[in-house]
Amino acid sequence: MTYNIISTGSKGNAVVINSRLLIDCGVNYKQISPHVGSLQLVLLTHEHGDHFYPSTIKRLAKERPTLRFGCCKWLVKLLVELGVPKWRIDIYTPDFVNDYGNGLKIQAFMLSHNVPNCGYKILIDGERLIYATDTNNLLGITAPNYDLYMIEANYEDEEIMERIRAKEEAGLYAYERKVLKNHLSKKKADDFIAANAGANSEFIYMHGHIERNDKNE
């Protein structure tokens, strides 16, 4: 399996798998332009701008009129408003396996975030990948012996609690409390990988925390 992490984190998310799939589209068009010609399917997770960048999606749909978009029901209206015809949108029911043929199967699964969100289990060209970011937990989700794990590891527990303590003692707003509710810690990521990965599995930490001073997330 080949992968190109164009961007991951609060500044934007986009990952290309085997030159065929784009997972998340939260970057400007220039960043994905080298990969556009080979894409077959764009998988979208949720509406936040670092995962769903409207102008890029709109241009991508226009310049690649045969390109398909896959998402759960909460993103369909947004895609249609951007000019994506509904017949080009594959609407996934969480936990149902969608078989595209040609060595590609897609299964969405629900994630716990502050807006509706999903992750993806993907079988592509004989190998298996799980992708999960922007979630508080991975409870009830299994992916035994997958080839590649792309799992959010947003913060270290002790470090973020110390930042919260220092800010609150100084009378400052600690946006990190929202991070605790909406993002996955490195420990939870490690626990999930340890419970699922096989001897030959590869894992990549996604969506790491970047310190900031504003109140936005």
What is the domain-level CATH number for residue 128?
3.60.15.10
User: Once rounded to an integer, what is the mean pLDDT over residues 15-23?
Assistant: 97
- Reported as a single tens digit per residue, the pLDDT across 124-149 is 999 999 999 999 999 999 999 999 99
Evaluate whether 205 touches 187 at the Cβ level (below 8 Å).
Answer: no
- Beta pairing class for 21-23 and 41-43: parallel
Kindly state whether residue 168 falls inside one of the protein's structural domains: no
Evaluate whether 157 touches 163 at the Cβ level (below 8 Å).
Answer: no
Kindly state whether residue 88 falls inside one of the protein's structural domains: yes
Residue 156 has φ and ψ, to the nearest 5°, of -90, 135
Kindly state whether residue 217 falls inside one of the protein's structural domains: no
Domain that holds residue 131: 3-155+184-206
Task: Report d(CA 28, CA 59) in Å as an integer.
Answer: 10
Write down the pTM of the prediction: 0.93
Kindly state whether residue 121 falls inside one of the protein's structural domains: yes
Q: If phi over 0 gives left and psi between -120 and 50 gives alpha, with beta otherwise, what is residue 203?
A: beta
Which of 116, 119, 114, 120 minimizes the C-alpha distance to 182? 114
Kindly state whether residue 197 falls inside one of the protein's structural domains: yes
Which of 18, 82, 5, 19 minimizes the C-alpha distance to 47? 82
- Reported as a single tens digit per residue, the pLDDT across 43-95 is 999 999 999 999 999 999 999 999 999 999 999 999 999 999 999 999 999 99
User: Once rounded to an integer, what is the mean pLDDT over residues 107-129?
Assistant: 97
Kindly state whether residue 74 falls inside one of the protein's structural domains: yes
Evaluate whether 208 touches 186 at the Cβ level (below 8 Å).
Answer: no
Count of domains in the chain? 1
CB atoms within 10 A of CB 161: 14
Kindly state whether residue 198 falls inside one of the protein's structural domains: yes
Report CA-CA distances (Å) from 193 to 55, 134, 148. 35, 16, 10
- Which pLDDT band holds residue 210 (cuts at 50, 70, 90)? low
Kindly state whether residue 170 falls inside one of the protein's structural domains: no
Cα–chain center distance at 103: 21
Q: If phi over 0 gives left and psi between -120 and 50 gives alpha, with beta otherwise, what is residue 73?
A: alpha
- Which pLDDT band holds residue 215 (cuts at 50, 70, 90)? very low
